[in-house]
Amino acid sequence: MSDIAKLQIGEKTYEFPLVKGTENETAIDIKALRGATDGVITIDPGYKNTGSCQSAITFLDGEKGILRYRGYSIEELAEKADFLEVAYLLIFGELPTKEQLDKFYADILDEAIVDDDIKKIIDAFPKNAHPMGVLSSLTSALTAFNPSSVNVDSEEDMYKAIVKIMGKFPVLVAWTLRKKQGLPLHYGSRKLGYVENILTMMFQKPNDEYELNPIMINALDKLLILHADHEQNCSTSTVRIVGSSHAGLFASLSAGISALWGPLHGGANQAVLEMLEAIKEDGGDTKKYMGKAKDKEDPFRLMGFGHRVYKNFDPRAKIIKKAADEVLGDLGVEDPILDVAKGLEREALEDQYFVDRKLYPNVDFYSGIIYRAMGIPVEMFTVMFALGRLPGWIAQWREMRLRKEPIGRPRQVYVGENLREFVEIDKR
């Protein structure tokens, strides 16, 4: 393949350089397009064919169902690493030595306390507030308590901001749940691991010791790893574009949480459980819901199916499906919803509509079944997704700033009224 692309507009032919990535992905560099063609631009709703950046963090191949963080396969990381190791890898680019990981976690623990005035903000929310709205607000509020914006050119400043949010975010997540349950807001302990602290802060009852269950710890650790990054998805692109205006890290993360909340994105894990519940209540009539999903007149979509990039099985879904069987078995949980999910998957994988459109189960299809078995309420499922995605958002924001990417400002094609004269109100 030559290293240029030719574009013919009218009588003129233009040449643009090709960019090739380390996994042989090829892009047309159109930086010079508008200037060279006297104003012609491209248009690509949803950016289905448009790359926003060059990134060294995550590689995925949607056709082959491949996902790697910094070159390591998701299968190996889910089996051999723990979440904090993966967070370090995503953010700093290399797997940490034991000393580096111990120091990273000690620095995170130093920051795993939030200003007590945050409790006043939490108290102002109604108990029925959706946790994603609460979490997005609390994350933005961290800016108020940590006003100095990150000097990304200072490694020390950047590191401080990273350990701050890695320490404080799990506290905000746990307190968001506790507030809904009317339980006191408390902290974990320096004696516990990162995931152990999350479970303790979420589930410890005020009048009892909390007994950590290794099955729950391993299940949550694996789920957080599987959600940790996914290149330029909707919420990560939001974090990048907000950060590209040089808004702070916490403000950018708050925007990412809001984008993740949508049911077409991270909110799908909650929507999957609600859909499976509805099918179960409806006598397990999966055929009826398959029909609704294919009916263009019906806005219903099969939640947890399809993906913008994966046109094969989402590798994360395969790992989570296996884990769901193991965790429910180990916890001794019988959940008929799992059987509904497996029946629906079988049906969809044989259905021509789904086969033709390459619609496979995605990361959200089975994750909620594990969260539910762990006793996490359904409206907290997307919050757990955000907890996993945090290091990925941080890594992508940091890369965007360190590469000094320009402010994100897309163009448009105007299709409104041409120039017209103003008409006085008494003449309209």
Taking the complex as a whole, the smallest distance from the CB of residue 234 to ligand SDX amounts, in Å, to 6
Taking the complex as a whole, the smallest distance from the CB of residue 165 to ligand SDX amounts, in Å, to 19
**Is 117 known to be catalytic?**
no
| Nearest in space to 114 (alpha carbons), one of 88, 81, 139 | 139
Q: Which of 304, 315, 368, 388 binds ligand SDX (CB under 6 A)?
A: 304
Q: Is 417 left (phi over 0), alpha (psi -120 to 50) or beta?
A: beta
Q: Does 292 bind ligand SDX (CB under 6 A)?
A: no
Number of C-beta neighbours around residue 83 at 10 A: 24
| Residues in contact with 68: Cβ distance below 8 Å, sequence separation at least 6, in sequence order | 58, 59, 60, 74
C-alpha dihedral sign at 351, 354, 356, 362: negative
Contact between residue 312 and residue 64 where contact means Cβ atoms under 8 Å apart: yes
Taking the complex as a whole, the smallest distance from the CB of residue 267 to ligand SDX amounts, in Å, to 8
- The residue nearest ligand SDX at its CB is 306
DSSP E strand stretches across 36-141:
58-61, 66-69, 72-73
Q: Which of 275, 324, 363, 374 binds ligand SDX (CB under 6 A)?
A: 363
Q: Which of 180, 222, 230, 240 binds ligand SDX (CB under 6 A)?
A: 230
Phi then psi for residue 69, to 5 deg, are -105, 115
Q: Which of 162, 228, 257, 293 binds ligand SDX (CB under 6 A)?
A: 293
Q: How many residues bind ligand SDX (CB under 6 A)?
A: 22
Contact between residue 282 and residue 331 where contact means Cβ atoms under 8 Å apart: no
**Is 364 known to be catalytic?**
yes
Q: Which two tokens stand for residue 206?
A: 């005020």
Q: Does 268 bind ligand SDX (CB under 6 A)?
A: yes
Query: For ligand SDX, which is the closer residue by CB, 203 or 305?
Result: 305
Contact between residue 195 and residue 83 where contact means Cβ atoms under 8 Å apart: yes
Taking the complex as a whole, the smallest distance from the CB of residue 145 to ligand SDX amounts, in Å, to 28
Q: Does 257 bind ligand SDX (CB under 6 A)?
A: no
- Choice among 221, 229, 307, 314 that is catalytic: 307
Q: Which of 169, 261, 305, 366 binds ligand SDX (CB under 6 A)?
A: 305
Q: Does 307 bind ligand SDX (CB under 6 A)?
A: yes
β-pair partners for 9: 12
Number of C-beta neighbours around residue 132 at 10 A: 24
Residues that bind ligand SDX (CB under 6 A): 46, 230, 233, 264-266, 268, 293, 301-309, 357, 359, 362-364
Q: What residues are annotated to the active site? A: 307, 364
